Amino acid sequence: MVIKSTDALVVIDVQNDFCNGGALAVPDGDAVVPVINALMPRFRTVVLTQDWHPASHGSFASSHEGRQPFDMVEMFYGDQVLWPDHCVQGTRGADFHPDLETVPATLIVRKGLNERVDSYSAFQENDRATSTGLAGYLRGRGVERVFLAGLALDYCVRYSALDARLQAFEAVVVENACRGIGDLQETRESFAKAGVELVSMN
């Protein structure tokens, strides 16, 4: 794969809580770190995202009386999976994995700050209305194609890739630099339908 100056690497949520031993650990999550570190120097634009929730975030089962993690609830914007408490602002779980390179990052985007709205996508919150500003940043740097890597492939990477397409970027998911939580069938289908490319890179 030839990387151009109009390509960006967007690294999704490589944080302690999504890695081995974390509060919402993605199986084998740590494995993405060396792969992503090796990709970063090839890109002129490198964005890291950080899930960054207030302690009483509405996506936490603990915020809903009588609910358990992985239950579904109805929020004002639609269905929402309830999660164990994770990536609470300022905690060690919200920090980047200690081995993730952060020096090459040109921008860090934080998401999920609104107590009432979850945000899987790096581009906009789950209400499908509130922008993180990422699309404008990428356009401002002349980016045309977005490569995505990180955690979790079937949640935050998935919705970030689909939103990249909605924002008229080309989107390439680097599968060997991602790990997922559940079955990936639906994710693969959504990528095919939206024109998201799925590749392996090293």
- Residues marked as catalytic: 13, 111, 156
- The stretch among 44-52, 69-77, 91-99, 124-132 that binds Zn ion (CB under 5 A) is 44-52
d(CA 59, CA 53): 9
Nearer to ligand VGL, 152 or 196 (CB): 152
Q: How far is the CB of 111 from Zn ion (least distance, A)?
A: 8
Contacts of residues 33-38 at CB distance under 8 Å and 24 or more positions apart, as own/partner, are 33/97, 33/99, 33/100, 34/99, 35/149, 35/174, 35/176, 35/177, 35/202, 36/9, 36/11, 36/100, 36/101, 36/149, 36/150, 36/177, 37/99, 37/100, 37/101, 38/202
Nearer to ligand VGL, 7 or 13 (CB): 13
Q: Which does 135 bind (CB under 5 to 8 A by kind): Zn ion, ligand VGL, none?
A: none
List the one residue from 17, 30, 51, 175 that touches Zn ion (CB under 5 A).
51
Residues of this chain that interact with ligand VGL (CB under 6 A) are 13, 18, 51, 83, 151-152, 155-156
Q: How far is the CB of 195 from Zn ion (least distance, A)?
A: 26
Nearer to ligand VGL, 23 or 143 (CB): 23
13: contact with Zn ion by CB under 5 A: no
Residue 23, CA distances (Å) to 18, 20, 83, 117, 173 in order: 7, 9, 9, 20, 25
Q: How far is the CB of 102 from Zn ion (least distance, A)?
A: 20
SS3 8: strand
Q: Which stretches of the chain bind Zn ion, using CB under 5 A?
A: 51
